[in-house]
Chain A
């Protein structure tokens, strides 16, 4: 495979069979269309290229900015395409909830504008929402922007009626699948692919998956939000079903752990939703169908790597790490009770006579502002990291630990004592007690 441009690698993605041992369907063959293997990482590469490509030359001549209301994959693809063609790209959104995608977009050179959050005090006289305002900005100075308009642009669906759909038919040996399952975001892939599949065989069942209300699955709208999409037509779907974030992660786990398909939560939602729907069809088939095997295709729309924080907030246990030595969490109440805690007056006298190392565990910003004279700053996170490796000072070197209220310092003092340190003390009440006792602090 040799290409002149990376954009030539968009499309022609593999159709991979899911092992029946994994999905357990007896009369249906299930295939994953791996849109995650598009060069910029998602199903949106097709639409982005199809929407932008015809206008790039003119946009460059006129110095236009590519603009899209996107929170993720479309923005990613457009940012790459715009960058390759020397155009600035701006994404306007209030839905960007995945921090990795935000960082990646900035890395790609995109400008991101986040719409403000909902007002606490509603203004009933406000006549327009932020999105309407953005649309007005785009139309008022039409010449400055190339607005790809994914939610209304027919080219979005055409990318799939001309690409994704026909590719599936070709890979299935010239037949359309009996079931086609896709998540609904812009409705581009489901609408476009459904059009091509039905043109080939009107009997194809199309299942659209939406996010459960009040739940967030990246790239999918919920049952109300889909109505805000110009490309969405409820008649496209034989069934519209909701998938929760939890189910999406379950589906994703099966794909990544058992199928070797490193897809993200949206692909997981498609797999989970597909299986839930197909199990019933499979059971009907078992109870007196015509004996013919059926085929089903679902879309894995992007890759797992960008969703680690999504997983971390929803299922932290999946990212478990082995326990590390000398962790503050392992300190026992008994060890805490044995710590040598001293008050401000005693601490001042001890500092004056024994000159202990005073370790301030607060953040660098706070330390720089005000601290006990002669103390050194080892931020708590860093100190914890250091202790995993052992004591950062000699066993008999006197140490006074200081934190904001004397809570962390007690814990770390207990830990140091357990590690064999002979003279560690903790400042009772912390820096706040120090300040309240009018003991001197410096900013140097």
Chain B
């Protein structure tokens, strides 16, 4: 085999210490089955703190919201509830709203987003959570509910989209959600018409892009709409921004650069393949020229999470000409953020047991796991990162078993497409039946977003894992049995 091309995950101290505890992990999988999802609720409190520091640097106040859809865990929601009034949650369905309320988040800390059916809208209105109104139609429906059931005024944060750019034309990806900023006047007319039913508290945007320039244009557009609303006598308090703060998944930028270069070479036929059946992740070689675009998550992203927010706030607003943070502060607005997966950074690990290692006639090593691609959604999101090998006790050394190998990771479904990774994954040694592979940093979208009961295979159980201080023994409980009094101190 040629040089192994590792893509080692970035591990902060808490998950790193956990993975270094095989004597804790193996019995857990033996008892609860494979796959098994571990959650580190105390980590989400640390992540909130890192974002709060960025707020403090820019002298800003406002809510830091966790996007519930990133994970169904109760432990994360309840731990977040214990972090104090400056944090909140974004819920995108009736079930998520019920879960958030049940987990201890009070209505003033909950924002209902996304497409809303009447049940969802009713419970949101009844409990008085903030509604990120998606369209004029939804605003009308909400107002009708409030009037019909004689409910108190519901706080709203209408979602805007399609912001104008200045100078150059930015071809922003179209969104199915939100009201175009050019139609904001009509929206405000509607807000004024329904003054007795809804309380206009600000506006929101949520862009699916990593480009800070597009977001700066959006925030700039929001400030203009808020100014118009003030002119009309409304009293907005906040701008809610979301989407694309990102997470840095890999420990070593040089590994990422080397890997992507070698992948390019493999697709051009200049080295041995690095993917199952020559899969190109969006790229293909045509007569020596590379076509298409590499459709993968930028695994190594040093400017992600809190740092991304910091840099975004330092951007100059394209039409208003001052730094975004300064404009928010000067105009007396709170900043609500939805850092999405960045808040779940380092919060979860998925364990899978190795069932079998097979070598094909062509010499490929296939490793079958007791888990499938729906349990560990790396491929769905184009995330290229290696699992960590957690060996099963002191097994006897087998011949040839201690040098690096490249393997393909197969799932447990009877489907040709069920590959946990389409990549040739390099491991420090060949795994053996009974070893565990640990997929790090799966709490944000990779854990249960797509998991289901296909082929009657069980969905992974979830456990919350915590310890006393930084060095105490590890404890665990079922995710639904976790309550913050087990671990939380003073957070905010």
Contacts and interface: CB of A to CB of B under 8 A. Distances in A.
Given A117-B214, A365-B227, A366-B327, A111 B169 contact: yes
Contacts of A405: 59, 329
Interface stretch (B82-90, B204-212, B361-369): B204-212
B295 interface: yes
For chain A, give the interface size range.
35 or more
A247 to B, nearest CB: 17
Interface residues of B, number: 55
A229 interface: yes
Interface stretch (B103-111, B257-265, B470-478): B257-265
A269 to B, nearest CB: 18
Q: Is the interface of A mostly helix, strand, loop or mixed?
A: loop
B230 interface: yes
A396 interface: no
A129 interface: yes
Interface string B149-167: 0000000000000000101
Given A114-B170, A365-B223, A129 B253 contact: no
B244 A120 contact: yes
A214 B264 contact: no
Nearest to A115: B171
B332 interface: yes
B491 interface: no
Contacts of B380: 122, 124
B168 A106 contact: yes
Quick one: which of B168, B214, B322 has the most chain A CB within 10 A?
B168
Given A102-B167, A122-B382, A132-B292, A224 B329 contact: no
A432 interface: yes
Contact of B290 (A103, A228, A233): A228
Contacts of A366: 327, 330-332
B58 to A, nearest CB: 10
A354 B227 CA distance: 32
A228 B170 contact: no
B268 interface: yes
Given A115-B171, A124-B380, A363 B330 contact: yes
A119 B295 CA distance: 10
Interface in A126-176: 126, 128-132
Interface in B317-366: 320-322, 326-327, 329-332, 340
A129 B294 CA distance: 9
Given A116-B171, A363-B320, A121 B332 contact: no
B395 to A, nearest CB: 37
Interface string B257-279: 10011001000100000000000
Nearest to A232: B289
B381 interface: yes
B59 A404 contact: yes
Interface in B376-429: 379-382
A124 B382 contact: yes
A230 B298 CA distance: 25
Nearest to A119: B208
A117 B215 CA distance: 10
Interface string A345-366: 0000000000000000011011
B1 interface: no
Contacts of B485: none
Interface of B: 59, 165, 167-173, 208-211, 213-214, 223, 227, 230-231, 243-246, 253, 257, 260-261, 264, 268, 282, 288-293, 295-298, 320-322, 326-327, 329-332, 340, 379-382, 445
10 pairs of A and B residues whose beta carbons are closest in the complex: A117-B211, A129-B293, A366-B330, A120-B244, A362-B330, A112-B168, A227-B290, A404-B329, A117-B209, A213-B257
18 contacts: A113-B169, A113-B171, A114-B168, A117-B214, A117-B244, A118-B209, A118-B211, A129-B292, A224-B260, A224-B261, A227-B288, A228-B289, A232-B289, A362-B330, A363-B326, A365-B227, A365-B322, A431-B330
Interface of A: 96, 102-103, 106, 111-122, 124, 126, 128-132, 213-214, 223-224, 227-230, 232-233, 362-363, 365-367, 369-370, 404-405, 407, 431-432, 435, 443
Given A118-B298, A213-B261, 5 more contacts: A114-B169, A114-B213, A227-B289, A365-B320, A407-B59
